[in-house]
Amino acid sequence: MATSRALAYLESRKNLTGSAGGLLGLVLTFTGVAGPYWPLVVAGLYGAGALIAPPDRPPLPEFPTPSAQLEAVGADFGKLETYLAEVGLPASTQTRLTELTDLLTALLDPGWAAELLAQDPEGVHTLSRIVRQDLPEAVDSFVRTRWWTRLTPGQEPPERHLERQLAALGEEAQRLAAALRDTEAMRQESHTRYLEERGN
């Protein structure tokens, strides 16, 4: 521990700046300016350099990039698909669920869509929330409510709420896909303008 601190100090800005000051003191000594007080001059210049040097900044913590986050969401989506296949949802919800999972698969599929999405941290966050929180919670709450509904018949069927939740999630995913499409369309239009203006 003490050795690592010593090595860290040797490489620090304070030591490097102080050493530069100390070298200046030695130059003054050899030119005869420092006189008999040269040890004090060298030590003083070293100390002054060490004091005025800016402190070393600790390195910033490394966080996963949007691309790495997207890969992690894709892995979690694979787990979610396995869970959805085992739950046994009613047929009335299958169409909406299939539409949603197909869209999520397309967004998470490695390729141009994922590359574009990786440049949009908000989009990655939206997709992550759907996969890791909203969709699992919607299905799990349906499964739990369905069990209680069997004990107390006559209540509103829980699949209606699930259908509405899947519809809302589908719309959110569609908005995300539309935003990505608009980004690509704008890039295409910009390239068209560039080529046309270059020709003039």
Q: Average pLDDT of 73-99?
A: 91
Q: How confident is the model at residue 13 (pLDDT cuts 50, 70, 90)?
A: confident
Task: Please tell me the distance from the alpha carbon of residue 65 to that of residue 83, in angstroms, as a whole number.
Answer: 27
Q: How confident is the model at residue 168 (pLDDT cuts 50, 70, 90)?
A: very high
HSE (side-chain half, CA atoms, 13 Å) at 30: 5
Q: What are phi and psi of 175, to 5 degrees?
A: -60, -40
